[in-house]
Structure 1
């Protein structure tokens, strides 16, 4: 369905809802959004936001739950966009959807964390998010919302991919052995983090993206918010902008009880493992052909970031880093080498194509630049990395990475053993050197500190 046809259908639906003719003056798809589409809708009378499933990948039950949760949160005083309309009939807008009022403010984390305009908002945001989370967790649980064992479900999702991740296996074992007891049960947002917030110069304006809402332990939301992936290079543990103490103080103001730091840390480790599995699962949508997408393919290379964070959070003893050695290019094809060709294409995209676009096309061009940077680094370092990796595995008696992962799950290999730890760290560092060399520099050790 073209944007023009979607605009026509949207105008027709809004005319029905409002009881008078409505004209859609402009419709623009937002950048990002690997699992759902987001469209900005300009009307003569104001602005709306449309979220819908990608056509052909409808999840009507999930969209219906999102609408119910948004309406319940609105009634409970949680700052959320007001729901204008929602539906699961694919004949209306091509797929299930939720249509909300537009809320002014910023959502891009790096702007929120760096720009002076948001300095005052940052100072109080952790406490404000604590209050918002507590209000979510006090919402009466609606009927029919999913409830499952989150750890066992995550392990099952990981296993279904058929691509074992050793550091994630270490986390699974630690999570099982250190699981908190007596967990509470409440409504859980499921994706409560920096990036799913609208913030202006005064503070929090709205909590977005309720597609993963479910029933579970409320501390899951706090742990997810504090996961390193959502700090965007900042050393501050709560979304990159605040302390645990401020988050817990804000939560206690509304809930009447202060969160247990050890439980929140458990959920932080869980969240890091979860994001690693999600990254690999999103890449699988591309690899399987179900949803071909450069963006989804690129996300698959972010798994190693979460492996690095897990080893850091769990205190796996670090070994000295080995230097990255550039592979010798084969002389068959001459110059420019494959890496040099990729670099030239990357520079063309960065210097000429990227500057010519805005909105979603600019975002996709930036993804393409990053993908080519990854390919270039793998062409330069990959052959030598693979040789070293085979030698490291063989020295400890593992045939391949899958065998290492299986031994870690079975308890036959101990991640805190010096040799096994060195193997884990070396392979993660090599993968990061290709996928994102800057990530290790921006990672801070997790834990309970403020």
Structure 2
């Protein structure tokens, strides 16, 4: 009975959304435009992702993606809820990144929240591969991998260069405050984690390495949020953790072991070398980054990932959200501790 109710509810939501999108594409692309192939994709609990095509009167199809806020209640302890941005801001960041020369999807229109839909934005559905394991392993991406780290550095430099006065309002958490926040999260669990405690101390003793630049940061710049084709980087996706911060945090994040998918000898996302990443960043106008500074932010990123794993685990253990996925990711917190001890040793 419960399954039937959930299925009927999903059908009603799909029909309602179809009507909303049919009306909206008619406004954007002209009378006679409709949609086809609307299907919900898997994604995080803090947003819904839908794929569909806009059918133009001349017969052309425009492949599109809708990201909108969920209609259902979400877990207030979800990291994406606490640290994320709204859908309008996310879509606007993608527009600004594209204008800056970053391979980001075009965002042609937004949805306003009303009695039929939550707020969201529609973006171009690009061709390419986003699964990190396939990107690092498949032979079809061999040529792409050879240039991908450089391209990632170059793209990061471009979105880091977007002028602050062009950006929508964003959360700003300086590095010292970010350390306090993450240590507070760990302490609240009431469990001893020597690896994390040592990392907090190591980072606090080296805060001068962080630097004081303040730019737009992607917030989740890694293998898994990149779209790759045979030519290399085809798109930078998933901007929902965009914020103001130190730009090198993005470069450190893409280098942590968790995003290498077993290819640990390739420090950048499992596909490239640090030297190529930094060369690309310099070529894109971001300046030369020292290895010491990058290492600081890699340690910070590894600590941050461990805290995220712990948060997901306790969402399950405390009964806020029973989820095999969350608890399985949560178990990886010990990997983060091991990685931290290797980095700071």
Give yes or no for TM over 0.5. Answer: yes
Matched, 1:82 2:133: no
Is the CA contact 1:47–1:101 (under 8 Å) kept in the aligned structure 2? yes
Name which of 115, 135, 138 aligns with 1:112.
135
The counterpart of 2:339, out of the listed 309, 312, 329, is 309
Shift in alpha-carbon separation, 1:181–1:256, aligned structure 2, 3 A? closer
Structure 1 equivalent of residue 171 of structure 2: 146
CA contact under 8 A between 1:273 and 1:306: conserved in structure 2? yes
Alpha-carbon RMSD: 2.3
- Aligned position for 1:64: 88
Kept in 2: contact 1:34–1:295 (CA 8 A): no
Q: Given the alignment, which residue of 256, 270, 273 partners 1:243?
A: 273
Q: Could you tell me whether the CA contact under 8 Å between 1:224 and 1:267 is conserved in 2?
A: yes
- TM-score of the aligned structures, taking structure 1 as reference length: 0.65
2:157·2:286 contact (CA, 8 Å) conserved in 1? no
Contact 1:26 / 1:43 at 8 angstroms: preserved in 2?
A: no
Poorly superposed stretches of 4+, deviation over 6 Å: none
Task: State which structure, 1 or 2, has the greater radius of gyration over its C-alpha atoms.
Answer: 1
- Structure 1 position 257 matched with structure 2 position 287: yes
For 1:134-184, what per-residue CA distance to the aligned partner results, in whole angstroms no more than 9, with x for missing partners?
001001222421101322222223234444432111111111111225421
* Map of 1:16 onto structure 2: 23
Secondary structure, in 3 states, of the residue corresponding to 2:158? helix
- Give unpaired runs (5+ residues) of structure 1: 316-450
Offset of residue 256 of structure 1: 5.3
230-239 vs 57-66, which moves further: 57-66
Out of 221, 238, 241, the position equivalent to 1:209 is 238
Match of 1:40 in 2: 51
Q: How far apart are the structure 2 equivalents of 1:161 and 1:67?
A: 34
What is the DSSP-based 3-state SS (H/G/I as helix, E as strand, rest coil) of the residue aligned with 2:325?
helix
Give the distance between the partners of 1:83 and 1:281, measured in 2 at CA. Answer: 32
Give the structure 1 partner of residue 247 of structure 2. Answer: 218
How high is the TM-score relative to the length of structure 2?
0.83
CA contact (8 A) 1:73 1:136 kept: yes
SS at match of 2:108: strand
Secondary structure of 1:146's partner? coil
Q: How far apart, in 2, do the equivalents of 1:188 and 1:172 lie?
A: 22
In structure 2, the CA distance between the partners of 1:92 and 1:181, relative to structure 1 (3 Å rule), is same
**Could you say which residue in structure 1 is the equivalent of 2:214?**
185
SS at match of 1:249: helix
For residue 342 of structure 1, what is the aligned residue in structure 2? Answer: none
Shift of 1:127: 0.4
Cross-structure match for 1:370: none
**1:232 equivalent in alignment to 2:256:** no
Deviation readout 1:183-206 (Å, 9 max, x if unpaired): 211110000000000001111111
CA contact (8 A) 2:196 2:337 kept: yes
Q: Does 1:155 align with 2:183?
A: yes
Q: Distance in 2 between matches of 1:96 and 1:292?
A: 27
Mapped partners of 1:61, 1:185: distance in 2: 18
Structure 1 residues 82 and 160 mapped into 2: Cα distance closer, same or farther (>3 Å)?
farther
| Count of residues paired in the alignment | 314
Structure 2 SS opposite 1:199? strand
Shift of residue 280, structure 1, vs aligned partner: 1.5
